[in-house]
Amino acid sequence: MQGGSFRSWWGGELTDAEWARLEPHLPRNVGRGRRWKSHRRVVDGILFRLRTGIPWRDLPTRFGSWETVYERHRRWSADGTWERMLRAVQADADAEGRIDWLMVSVDSTVCRAQQHAAGARRKAPRNPGTRIRSAQHRPDEGLGRSRGGLTTKIRLAGEGGLRPPALLVTPGQSGDAPRMIPVLDRVRVPRPAGGRPRTSPGHLSGGKAYGSRRNHRCLRRRHIKPTIPERRDQRTHRRNRDSKGGRSTDFNHAQHARPNEVERTINRIGGSRTVATRHNKRAYVCHGTVTVAALRRWLRP
C-alpha cells in the first residue's frame, strides 16, 4: 500500500489524487501578514479530527500547532470558505457528469449535543477583536431540546451518487415540512462556463412529513415533480370534497424507493464522530464541520 493511500485509510487524510482536486479551490495568501502554513497539513488535521472526534488540543504533532488547525477551521467556517470550496468541487463533478439530476431526496437526522456545546454567549461581545468572530452568530445557535436532551438536526438533500448537494443545521426540535424549501434553496451548483447555477432536479422525493401545501406549491412553481406520499388525513380530506377535491398526488412507488439514497448519504456523513455528536458551541462552526464532511464525500470519485 502506498504512503498516501495508507495515510488516507488510517487517519482520514487526503490522498494525492484528492489533494489535486481540492488544491485549486483553496484560498490564496494575499495581502499583508505572515504567510499561511501548509494548507495540506492543516486540512489533514481538520479531517483527522473530523473522523476521530478528539479534542483540538490532542491533535498529533504531525499536523503542526493545534491552534493553527482550529483557527483555520473556525475562520473558514465563518467567512464561507468551506461553502465556496464545496460549490467549486460540485461544479467540477457536474462538469464531469457525476451528479444525478434526475432525482434529489430530502431527509434529516438528529445528532446529540455534548454538554460542552451549550453555554455560548447569546450576544456577540462588544469588542470581539475581529469581525469574523462575531459573524453569523444566531440566537439559538442551532440547539434545541427534544426527548433526548440538547440536540441539533442536520437536514440535507441527497442524490444518486450518495453525496449531498445541500445541507442545513437547525435546532433538534424543529419540524421537517417548514425546512424543505430552505434546504432546496441551497442546491446551487455553479456552471464552470458561467451563467445561472443549476438549482432544480427533475424530481424531489421525501417522506410524508414534507407533503404540505406550501411545499407542493413551491415545487410546482419551480417545475419539480414531487414524489411525496400523501398522509391519510390529507387523502381523506381531499376525497370528502368530491369533484372539488383538488389535485391528487401523482405518486410513483418505484421512484419513492430511492430515498434510501439520502439515508445512506446520512450514514456516510454521520460516520464522522464530530458530526454524529456535536461539540461546537457556535452554529456557524457546527455548519462548517458538517460542510467539511460533505466536501470529503464529494472529493471521492
Q: What is the pLDDT of residues 123-158, one digit of tens each?
A: 554 444 444 444 444 567 888 887 778 899 999 999
Q: What average pLDDT does range 17-37 have in this prediction?
A: 77
pLDDT at 56: 94
- Band (pLDDT 50/70/90 cuts) for residue 213 is confident
**Pair 286, 278: CB distance under 8 Å:** yes
pLDDT at 229: 82
Rounded to two decimals, the pTM is 0.84
pLDDT at 142: 86
Weakest-pLDDT range from 93-97, 107-111, 124-128:
124-128
Helical segments of the chain, H only: 3-11, 16-22, 39-52, 66-78, 81-95, 180-185, 213-221, 232-240, 253-256, 260-270, 273-276, 283-299
Q: What average pLDDT does range 190-200 have in this prediction?
A: 88
pLDDT at 52: 92
Weakest-pLDDT range from 24-33, 147-156, 224-233:
24-33
Q: For the beta carbon of residue 84, count every other beta carbon within 10 angstroms.
A: 14
**Pair 265, 59: CB distance under 8 Å:** no
pLDDT at 235: 66
- Band (pLDDT 50/70/90 cuts) for residue 193 is confident
Answer whether residue 219 shows pLDDT above 60.
Answer: yes
Residue-wise pLDDT for 243-270, tens only, equals 455 554 555 555 555 658 888 999 999 8
Of residues 206, 183, 300, the one with CA closest to residue 261:
206
Residue-wise pLDDT for 265-295, tens only, equals 999 998 889 999 999 889 999 999 999 999 9
Average pLDDT, rounded, for the chain? 82
Answer whether residue 91 shows pLDDT above 60.
Answer: yes
